[in-house]
């Protein structure tokens, strides 16, 4: 079941399942390689919780918390 990217703990890895950001703001993320099916890792939250730093396609990207709440991801369940 997909969960918001912002709900992950630092160090967690997941895969982008859905991007619910409005189309006028989505293009910027797509240009940076954040696409459905892309693996991501949550690196850390800023001291006040915003922005959020993630690793995607080998580089670090900072997102506002409200953006990360609109990016749904799936995590592998422990086997």
So where are the chain's domains?
A: 3-74
DSSP-based helix, strand, coil % in the chain, nearest 5: 20, 40, 40
| Domain at 3-74: CATH code | 2.30.30.90
Regarding pTM above 0.85, the answer is yes
Is residue 59's pLDDT more than 80?
yes
Rounded Cα gap, residues 46 and 37, in angstroms: 26
- For residue 29, the model assigns a pLDDT of 86
pLDDT digits 0-9 by tens, 4-45: 999 999 999 999 999 999 988 888 888 888 999 999 999 999
Query: Given this model, what pLDDT does residue 79 score?
Result: 46
């Amino acid at each position: 079941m997909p969960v918001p990217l912002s709900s992950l703990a630092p160090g967690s890895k997941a895969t982008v399942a859905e991007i619910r950001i409005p189309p006028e703001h989505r293009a910027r993320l797509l240009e940076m390689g954040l696409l459905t099916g892309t693996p991501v890792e949550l690196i850390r939250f800023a001291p006040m919780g915003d922005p959020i730093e993630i690793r995607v396609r080998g580089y670090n990207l900072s997102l506002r918390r409200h953006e990360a709440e609109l990016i749904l991801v799936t995590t592998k369940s422990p086997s």
